[in-house]
Homo-oligomer: A and B are copies of this chain.
Amino acid sequence: MSEQAVTAQSEDFSRWYNEIVYRADLAAPSPVRGCVIIKPYGYEIWEGIKSGLDRRFKATGHQNAYFPLFIPESYIRREAQHVEGFSPELAVVTHAGGKELEEPLVVRPTSETVIGEAFSDWIQSYRDLPLLINQWSNVVRWELRTRPFLRTAEFLWQEGHTAHATHDEAEAETRQMLDIYADFASEDAAIPVIKGEKSRMERFAGAVRTYTIEAMMRDRRALQSGTSHNLGQNFAKAFDIRYLTEANTQDFCWTTSWGLSTRMVGAVVMTHGDDKGLRLPPKLAPFQLVIVPIYRRDAQRGAVLDTVERLRQAFESASLRVHVDDREGQSPGFKFNDWEMRGVPLRVEIGPKDVSNNNAVLARRDVPGREGKQFVSQDNVVAVAQELLGDIQRNLLDDARAFRDAHIHDASSYAELRAIVAEGEWARVYWDGTDDEELAVKDETGATIRCFPFEQPDAPGECVVSGRPAAKVALFAKAY
């Protein structure tokens, strides 16, 4: 699978990405336009993402439920901005059970509408609030240009939907879920993200405020990696989600929604990968260690494999995810390359000398060559491996943070912004432009406002385009 070298990132990042995704066996092409098959190695990363998030959702009082895949077409139309945002991307079922349907059914692009309708049934009084629901599901958006994990016609995600009695509670929920995304990204995926608010232009269709976590990929493009929306009372009014207040009056609820998708798998690939392939953060790696047995003569085989099996059991007893590569007919060198390609954080080599010396060789994926290799007594190998996996997890995060920070620059004029973006970097600028001015920057430079980061300078400044006083800085970058 990895006989041939991968295209270098510097040569063609996009080609590098596609090669890695397919050669590391994360995904396979599918016969359906714009869809991929998520293969076991890629799906296990997604299972890691799911369990990391699901644990956090449940710890904050959210419950999972499941809503129908199909949405009556009329529902989508009820919230004006929502229909405008999603109409061009809808897949529509017109026939079922051998007959034409009276009302076509849309395959959900997101579930605000059908969940809004359910909430209006379920919520009667303030005692039913807050209502904190999450759904793990597939969604469909008929995109023209697709790329595995980053943008596909069908993708997997979670969508949270909550209803609250007050604006402030809804706002606190929206922010809490963004914090959970950011915590997951940095702690589990080793991806440092910038939390911030989207501009009006980049808001979710129907939201009052959209918050985002933005990550920088190795080609310095931005990837929006999760979003959390304060929907105000827009959907509550469109779907009549009302409740009886403690004061015995009727009021509309305040709702939120928030989502993170299989796109996060692409973020892991593009944040950590290098010219040799994937580098997986230990917390999400399907295999945290791979053991490669090494022997030249058949006489050595038995003793080596015995030691390998003993170590495998020791790693497994310590709840480490370990794989033994005992493929016959492949050289150790081939196997080393293959597992480097697939990003396994730690390689354990066991040869005849290691057997007699009670040693093992540990090689870190994140530190190339001799520097990343060490001899360890088999008696300590589990403890050392655990420590190294912790180091690797931290190192990947530090590495990504240093890379990101080196490529964000302050600009105090539009000319500077243009120059920075032309170099492929991110520009941080004071911004108080109109929608049209924002669009003009995009047309001219290809960059969009990724967000107004929560972390802001102490003092206000002057908008780089309009020259008006600006309270906040925005980050401009080219994005996926």
Contact = CB atoms under 8 A, between A and B. Distances in A.
A57 B198 CA distance: 43
Interface stretch (A132-140, A345-353, A398-406): A132-140
A75 interface: yes
Q: Which of A72, A91, A114, A133 has the largest number of chain B CB atoms within 10 A?
A: A91
Contacts of A114: 30-32
Interface in A16-35: 28, 30-32, 35
A409 to B, nearest CB: 38
A65 interface: yes
Interface residues of A, number: 54
A90 interface: yes
Interface in A64-105: 64-72, 75, 87-98, 104-105
B39 A70 contact: no
Interface string A351-370: 00000000000000000000
A214 interface: no
B97 A88 contact: yes
A426 interface: no
A68 B133 contact: no
Contacts of A40: 63-65, 133
Number of copies: 2
A68 B142 contact: no
A87 B96 CA distance: 10
A149 to B, nearest CB: 11
Contacts of A37: 65-68, 118
A325 interface: no
Nearest to A54: B47
Interface string A92-125: 1111111000001101000000100110011000
A46 B70 CA distance: 21
A110 to B, nearest CB: 15
Given A31-B75, A47-B64, 20 more contacts: A30-B68, A31-B117, A32-B71, A37-B65, A37-B68, A37-B118, A38-B66, A39-B65, A43-B66, A44-B64, A46-B66, A69-B107, A69-B154, A70-B91, A87-B98, A89-B97, A90-B98, A91-B105, A92-B93, A93-B94
Interface of A: 28, 30-32, 35-40, 43-44, 46-47, 63-72, 75, 87-98, 104-105, 107, 114, 117-118, 121-122, 133, 137-138, 140, 142, 144, 153-154, 156
14 contacts: A28-B121, A31-B75, A32-B70, A32-B105, A32-B114, A35-B68, A38-B65, A38-B66, A44-B64, A47-B64, A88-B98, A90-B97, A92-B94, A93-B93
